[in-house]
């Protein structure tokens, strides 16, 4: 399925299409998959819960954390970011691998999400105080430290502000990092090939929720593993 965008370039009209990915939601028990397809029941998690995942191979205790560093004539300056405290998150897989099947060995079915964007928009209606969202592939890295180039615009912004532990400073750092910290993960777990759906709330999200969203079923298929 394609999403269409039309651009006007001088006297020419250009149509450009984007083929959105098909992704897969694995669950530990077939009951949860069947509950979704029968009544739209879904478990929506958060980064705090990801950090405590009972499966060590899927756990990343550094979820949402990031360091930005830049230098000037006085030396190196670094800031530690912890983001996503106001985010609901759903993990999906971009590909089905043998490793994923092994991690969810008790499951015989999964949810195939054929249109992640429309699926996520329906879920957004059911989550409290949600004002925005984002989706995309996770980045698997050796390090979560981003070293800015001395001549970069981002480093100029970093050096021009006296940053504190306040909302304004946190917002500025997030703009510099372009929000990557909620997608960056340890390269140790790259085999999970995660495609992440994130909903940002005006309130702190400290625990997972169960919602009922039958409207999202139309964008999904049941997949036999």
What percentage of the chain exceeds 90 in pLDDT?
A: 44
Confidence bin at 188 (pLDDT 50/70/90): confident
User: What pLDDT sits at residue 178?
Assistant: 73
* pLDDT of amino acid 110: 96
Q: Are 19 and 2 in contact (CB under 8 A)?
A: yes
Residue 1 has pLDDT above 60, yes or no: no
195-214 b/e (C-beta count within 10 Å ≥ 16 → b)? bbbbbbbeeebeeeeebebe
| Residue-averaged pLDDT of the chain | 85
Give the model's confidence band at 71: pLDDT under 50 very low, under 70 low, under 90 confident, else very high: confident
Strands 41-46 and 87-93: antiparallel
Which pTM value belongs to this model? 0.83
The angle formed by the CA atoms of residues 39, 45 and 51, to the nearest 5 degrees, is 155
Residue 18 pLDDT more than 90? no
**The total number of residues written for the chain in this structure:** 225
Phi then psi dihedrals of residue 68, to 5 deg: -115, 130
**Does the pLDDT value for residue 43 go beyond 90?**
yes
pLDDT (tens digit, 9 = 90+) per residue, 72-105?
777 787 777 777 889 999 999 999 988 888 888 8
Q: Which residue has the higher pLDDT, 199 or 159?
A: 199
* Enclosing H/E stretch for 66: strand 65-72
Q: What is the pLDDT of residue 96?
A: 92
pLDDT per residue as tens digits for the range 142-160 = 887 788 888 788 888 787 7
pLDDT at 74: 75
pLDDT at 54: 63
Report helix, strand or coil for 2.
strand
Q: Are 44 and 36 in contact (CB under 8 A)?
A: no
Q: Which runs of consecutive H residues, i.e. helices, occur in 140-203?
A: 153-160, 167-177
**The two three-digit tokens of residue 105, written as one number:** 């060995």
Q: How would residue 176 be classed by pLDDT, with cut points 50, 70 and 90?
A: confident
The model's confidence at residue 3, banded by pLDDT at 50, 70 and 90, is low
- Comparing C-alpha atoms, which of 132, 133, 127 is closest to residue 211? 127
């Amino acid at each position: 399925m394609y999403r269409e965008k039309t651009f006007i370039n001088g006297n020419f009209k250009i149509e450009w299409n984007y083929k959105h990915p098909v992704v897969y939601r694995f669950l530990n028990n077939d009951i949860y998959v069947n509950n979704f397809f029968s009544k739209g029941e879904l478990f929506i998690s958060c980064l705090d819960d990801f950090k405590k995942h009972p499966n060590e191979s899927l756990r990343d205790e550094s979820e949402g954390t990031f360091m930005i560093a830049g230098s000037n004539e006085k030396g190196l300056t670094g800031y530690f970011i912890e983001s996503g405290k106001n985010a609901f998150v759903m993990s999906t897989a971009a590909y089905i691998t043998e490793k994923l099947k092994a991690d969810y060995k008790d499951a015989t079915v999964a949810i195939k999400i054929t249109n992640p964007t429309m699926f996520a928009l329906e879920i957004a209606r059911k989550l409290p105080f949600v004002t925005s969202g984002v989706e995309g592939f996770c980045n698997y890295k050796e390090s979560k430290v981003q070293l800015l180039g001395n001549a970069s615009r981002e480093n100029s912004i970093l050096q021009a502000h006296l940053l504190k532990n306040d909302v304004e400073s946190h917002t500025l750092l997030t703009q510099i990092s372009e929000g990557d910290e909620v997608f960056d993960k340890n390269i140790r777990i790259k085999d999970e090939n995660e495609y992440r759906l994130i909903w940002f709330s005006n309130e702190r999200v400290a625990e997972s929720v169960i919602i009922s969203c039958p409207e999202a079923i139309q964008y999904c298929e049941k997949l036999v593993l």
